[in-house]
Structure 1
Amino acid sequence: MRKILLTSVVCLACVMPILAGGVLTNTNQHVSFLRMVARGASIGISGAYYNPAGTAFMNDGIYLSFNGQSVYQTRTIDSKFMLGTDMDFSHKYKGKASAPFLPNVMAAYKKGNLAFSGSFGIIGGGGKASFNEGLPMFSNAVHAAMAMQKIPPKAYSINSSLDGSQMIWGLQMGAAYKFNDWLSGYAGGRMNYFTGGYEGFLQASLRGKNPVEVVGIDLDCTQTGWGLTPILGLDAKLGKFNIGLKYEFITKMNIENKTKKSEYRIKGVPQDINSPLAAYKDGVNTPNDIPALLSAAVQYSILPSLRASVEYHYYFDKQAGMAQDKQKSLDRGTIEYLAGIEWDVTKILTISAGYQNTNYGQTDGFQSDTSFSCDSYSIGLGAEVKLNKHLNLNVGYFWTNYSDYKMKAQIAKNIASDNTYSRTNKVFGLGIDYKF
């Protein structure tokens, strides 16, 4: 029993760090992305993030943009844990993640052939995920240990909970230069600051008038870190076509623990042995790189009032350092295909819609209860309203449909698990653009 229970605690140490780094980057930095999706070849203030080289083709002036978004997600694990043919510990674990307000500010100054631009927002994470009943990986480890000791399920109880949060704030600044009437280039960078936190517990106890604790885990840890992202871009105007290219280099980043509590208790196991929670000791550093990103987009003006865009993203996830070297388990990096269209219905109103398909290189070796990715497609729609010659209002809605990821594992003789991972996501946004 000692070995099985110790293994259950090790699971916490091995998997929990993945909460601090995923294979996703927040590309919803401007509300125009929510309503059109493919913005990589657009000319406008949103280009401060999506097409920074294109800012050199804007009209002279000073531009400001303020955006706010509300994000709501669920993450569900439908777990079927079998001990032989007699015990079936099936349960659905549901976690909720929300970010009621994600802000972003963009600015640009264009004069002649030169443009300076910048943006500030949350480029990764941004919410808090809560599993109020814990996770199957913890509960199932306890079930297995108890079964090996011939202790029936009615003789013990398990109480657990897990909360995790992360934010990566990014401040991007750079300059674009128009070389001639059809070509411009951009060079800049982004300062990234990571902050996250993990708080959770597990307690397994034998029932009775005086319950006896068999396993106890308590963790309260915050993490911080920072890193720099060099960024290059090009924009080419070829007749009715506009082509935008952007490359964000890999961001090398370590996150450091600031730990208030990191305790484990296993009945009968001396506490002076090497702690499986050593990775959460105060001051310990963990790799949390932001992967490099290649973005290529083409916009075509079908009519002066009607524009269509297609875009391609490739995230170099496999080259980005993650906790426990989990990136090595990936087949490849993330691939995204985007498309969008917008129509100036009148001089005042523009309506738009877009589509995004996201395909990961995930494998069973990469997926875990605390960090899992599901292939998806997303639909965005919304409008831009020109309130006057200086002020525009953007509204958008972005909805994602995820494919379930099913994973089966034969843990040991007569011990098997069958997990189905699923997610939901919806985003609402409102923003204003102002030109002086």
Structure 2
Amino acid sequence: MTIKKTCFLLLLTLATSPVFAGGLLTNTNQSVHFLRNPARDASTEIDAVYTNPAGLSLLTDGFHLSLTNQSVFQTREITSTFAPFAANNNGSPTKTYKGEASPPVIPSFQLAYKKDRFVISAGFAISGGGGKATFNHGLASFEAPISMIPVSLTAKGVNTTAYSVDEFMEGRQFIFGFQLNGTYKINDMFSGALGMRLNIVNNAYQGHLRSIQINPVHPTLNPTGATISANTFFSNAATAAQGASNSLAPIIAAGYGSSTMAQLVSAGVLTSAQVTQLSTGLGQNVSSLQASQVQGAYNTAAATYTASAKATADKELDCTQTGWGVTPIIGLNYHYAGLNIGAKYEFITKLNIQNNTIVDDTGLFADGVNTPSDIPAYFAVGAEYQLCKKWKVSGGYHHFFDSDAKMANDKQKFINGGVNEFLFGSEYQISDMFLVSAGGQITRTGVTDNYQSDMSFSLSSYSVGFGGAINVSPKMRLNLAYFFTNYNKWTKTSSNYNGTNLAGTDVFYRTNKVFGIGLDYKF
């Protein structure tokens, strides 16, 4: 039985997908500027600390500061169809599992100081993860093995038609990114940048699997078919099976091990009622079996019931994870007249996260164990063109090298290259005080069907962001934005659904909405 394994593997992965835009493990919307116009890869404003560090050479001399808060509202929805679910879903094989991640405060800042040809800049943002996902009713990946208990018992002659379980899990993941850049203006057209980001991981996972209930009709253990704890039923069954085995031990020790049950009745060693009881316990007629064979069958049954009792006992998990890694960054910017082109490359970040376990009834999260969780390399290039004094347009391209980043259980093997993003946007200066902007992003995931599970899935999507800026004073600007993403559904059908050897289907979907507000200040 795989109940405990599939249940809590989810806790490691339910929060690993970022609640922001970006790749599988990378957040790219690290300022409000991105929300109101996602195509920022050729930015020459303060948000270029992250998006285009080489473009900072076009800032005016002095200090520049930007503060942002993002409020994120995201849901993850998995519609699962599996025939055994009908025993806990009013006869319907289809259940919908929904998780929510709604952090109201996601802060970030960018700071730069420019003097002549040189710029020193720093920034902080949630570079990966970014929130807490809560599944109040679990997920199909660990309910499926539980739903197989009635199927398995019924197949063994113990009619069971229903089950229930109390399931809950919550995961929180943050990768705090502290970035430092140096930018140099080579000439009027070219500038370059070198930087690094320190990534600090802080994850927390809590969950439980409690009170698995079933209604087996068993002539001795539960003759009325009342709802009973699965752990209690299997524990009692193990005790009864071991008792039956022990009752045969003296008979075998007396030299009757090779005698059949029928022969033992004829010899007066056993009664017909005792043989009937032994047959009932195994769910088969044992009259023709030897005493040693019957004892062996009961020993096997006792071991199986003991394992089932252990698997259906209440499980708790309380685990945090920590780790850190450094991302080297290089950038190049080209500027001529109204055209600006920016490019950057972030190298792969080798990263292991370590378990700091308080409670682990699963035996899967030993304290101090490390799990690989590399942040993939990332390439971005973009262009911005000033059509006229008040109007400019922009575009960009992102590629995440996800298949080269080591992941838990080698999931990177199920990715064809990585995520690709195509971005476009525009902004218009209405007056000296007001600016409006909008843009979009098309995301094409690189994962394969084997990658997708309710524990971790990636979907292609398109996003739209819009907003504006208000020049409160010559030195201060207020930014406001709204950003939303529409995802494509992904349907996965399996002939061996979650290891049950039965067919089942999952349909993956998610929603994402982000509100942003920020201040830019120069001094």
With normalisation by structure 1, the TM-score equals 0.92
Long gaps (5+) in structure 1: 265-274
The equivalences for 1:49-60 within 5 A come to 49-60=50-61
Match of 2:504 in 1: 417
State the Cα deviation string for residues 276-325 of structure 1 (Å, max 9, x = none): x2xx1100000111111000001111112111001000000001111111
Match of 2:191 in 1: 184
- Counterpart among 140, 158, 164 of residue 157 in structure 1: 164
- 8 Å CA contact 2:376, 2:402 repeated in 1: yes
Match of 1:106 in 2: 110
State the Cα deviation string for residues 236-273 of structure 1 (Å, max 9, x = none): 00232100001111111100001111114xxxxxxxxx
- Counterpart among 473, 484, 495 of residue 399 in structure 1: 484
1:10 Cα shift? 2.6
Alpha-carbon distance in structure 2 between the residues aligned to 1:128 and 1:85: 30
The equivalences for 1:59-208 within 5 A come to 59-83=60-84, 89-150=93-154, 154-203=161-210, 204-207=212-215, 208=226
Decide which moves more: 358-367 or 85-94.
85-94
- 8 Å CA contact 1:135, 1:162 repeated in 2: no
With normalisation by structure 2, the TM-score equals 0.77
Match of 1:247 in 2: 345
1:192 Cα shift? 0.5
- 8 Å CA contact 2:342, 2:383 repeated in 1: yes
Please say which structure displays the higher CA radius of gyration.
2
Alpha-carbon distance in structure 1 between the residues aligned to 2:349 and 2:230: 48
State the Cα deviation string for residues 77-122 of structure 1 (Å, max 9, x = none): 1110025999753211111111100000110000000011111111
Match of 1:9 in 2: 4
Change in CA separation of 1:186 and 1:131 when aligned onto 2, cut-off 3 Å: same
Alpha-carbon distance in structure 2 between the residues aligned to 1:67 and 1:258: 32
1:212 Cα shift? 4.1
Structure number with the higher strand fraction is 1
Decide which moves more: 75-84 or 105-114.
75-84
1:15 Cα shift? 4.9
- 8 Å CA contact 1:332, 1:360 repeated in 2: no
Decide which moves more: 359-368 or 344-353.
359-368
- 8 Å CA contact 1:14, 1:324 repeated in 2: no
Alpha-carbon distance in structure 2 between the residues aligned to 1:184 and 1:414: 59
Identical counterparts, % of pairs: 43
Match of 2:515 in 1: 428
Query: Which amino acid in the other structure matches residue 504 of structure 2?
Result: S
State the Cα deviation string for residues 126-156 of structure 1 (Å, max 9, x = none): 1110110011111111112330211666443
Give the number of aligned pairs.
Answer: 418
Long gaps (5+) in structure 2: 18-23, 216-225, 232-308
- 8 Å CA contact 2:150, 2:214 repeated in 1: no
1:346 Cα shift? 0.6
Alpha-carbon distance in structure 2 between the residues aligned to 1:404 and 1:423: 8
Change in CA separation of 1:147 and 1:221 when aligned onto 2, cut-off 3 Å: same
Runs of 4+ aligned structure 1 residues displaced above 4 Å come to 13-16, 83-88, 151-155, 207-210
Alpha-carbon RMSD? 1.9
1:414 Cα shift? 7.1
Alpha-carbon distance in structure 1 between the residues aligned to 2:191 and 2:132: 40
Residue 364 of structure 1: SS of its match in structure 2? coil
Query: Which amino acid in the other structure matches residue 45 of structure 2?
Result: G
Alpha-carbon distance in structure 2 between the residues aligned to 1:418 and 1:117: 49
State the Cα deviation string for residues 350-399 of structure 1 (Å, max 9, x = none): 10000001111112211111211111100000001111110000000001
